[in-house]
Amino acid sequence: ASRDGASTASLGSLLTEPEFVYLQHGLKIRAECGINAEVEKQLEMGKKLLAAGQLADALSHFHAAIEGDSDNYIAYYRRATVYLAMGKSKAAIRDLSKVVELKQDFTSARLQRGHLLLKQGKFDEAEDDFKNVLKSNPSNNEEKEAQTQLTKSDELQRLYSQALSAYQQEDYEAAIPLLDEILAVCVWDAELRELRAECYIKEGEPSKAISDLKAAAKLKSDNTEAFYKISRIYYQLGDHELSLSEVRECLKLDQDHKRCFSLYKQVKKLNKQIESAEEFIREGSILQRKTSAEAYLLEDLYEEGTLVCILYIFAVSVSKIFNMRFDAALCCLSLISTVADLGKYLLLIFCLYQFCRLLLQKLPSPSLLMLASLLAPYKRRWNTAALLKITDGLYAEAWLKVRKLVSWAGAPRLGLRWLLGVTEPKWNCAPPHPC
């Protein structure tokens, strides 16, 4: 083209003006034909690779076609198809919007974009596309599909209104199935997932809430709120490591996020307390090995789940988020009842003493006495005098103090609960409970 331009410049003085203009126009057409031929080649190669499932290679050819002709709506449409196959819905919508901008009567692009917008929960925008398809002389199949999707959109909006009303009235049990039905279609709606997560939290189903919040975090790249909520739930469950991991993700997105930073400091503090508890238990284990006929390593306790249960109790006790979990205490007490070995029994008693000491700081006396009443049956399991002869140091001190706690519950348990007005707690220690 540059050689042709130089030639025309030199010929300009020899030709009349009409002849010169005609020559320039001819050269322009020839150049455009060359570009279009290259674009068509890229489109054809991309189409073959797409059919073969080689998405990355097909995408590179469609990129090249668009670079060669930025107004080629077919290139944008085919690239949108590749993006969809790769799961990149946002990029696909951008390309489909460009197709509609370049060719407004391209009903296939409008119909496809409407489908994607509906999956994102953008009902009004999706309906606009379906209505425009009906106005654009569509084929019978396209007309039928657009009408079906309009009906579906109306139904989804009705369900959403009902779900929102139930949520606002704190009827979370009714809201969840309605949101389930909407999310079966609107799978890419982050806000709906966050709303259902809130319902799950209120209904005491944290694992389901975490699942929805993680999906919402993926759907919305800067979703600091989702990471904050996930971290908060893990913290409330006593899983300090996962809580710390999630709150760090929040701070990666926004270092100045006040609530995430505050929670980060809180979880870090809890982490140190847990480490201190582990060290405390380890020291107690060493002392116990000196006084017991048989040595039981810390690893043995891990294998039995005993230490995991103890640490869970400790995490809950320092959490200050949920009320004290007596079911966790009962889990450890159940473990004690299965321990036929004095050494391991002592270690559990020692750790339960630490838990009781925390309870003294946090719970009113009726609740503490209820826990003491749960300990009462176990004080008769071993002969106290023999126990004190075998043990010394921390274990002896722990057992003596636990004995004092248990002695408060000398009355029958039913009489104690009647006296204090304490109702029977609901135990929940079935798998996959942390205990």
Cis check: omega of the bond before 431, within 30 degrees of 0 = no
Local confidence pLDDT in tens for the 435 residues of the chain = 444 444 444 434 444 444 444 334 433 433 433 457 888 888 889 889 888 889 999 999 999 999 988 889 999 999 999 998 888 889 999 999 999 999 888 899 999 999 999 999 999 999 999 999 998 888 899 899 999 999 999 999 999 999 999 999 999 999 999 999 999 999 999 999 999 999 999 988 888 999 999 999 999 888 999 999 999 888 877 677 888 899 999 999 999 999 999 989 888 877 776 666 556 555 544 444 443 433 333 334 334 445 445 544 544 444 433 344 444 455 555 555 554 454 455 445 555 555 555 544 444 444 444 444 444 444 444 444 434 333 334 344 444 544 454 443 333 333 333 223 333 333 333 333 333
- Please tell us whether the domain made up of 159-267 is placed in CATH 1.10.287.130: no
Alpha helical stretches, state H, 52-88: 55-68, 73-85
Burial (CB < 10 A; 0-12, 13-18, 19+), residue 338, is: exposed
Cα 382 from Cα 222, distance rounded (Å):
58
Question: Is the Cβ–Cβ distance between 79 and 66 less than 8 Å?
Answer: yes
Q: pTM here?
A: 0.58
Burial class for 64, CB neighbours closer than 10 Å (0-12, 13-18, 19+): middle
CATH number listed for the domain at residues 2-103: 1.25.40.10
Query: CATH 1.25.40.10: which residues of the chain?
Result: 2-103, 159-267
Contact by Cβ (8 Å): 196, 183 = yes
Q: What angle do CA 186, 192, 194 make, to 5 degrees?
A: 140
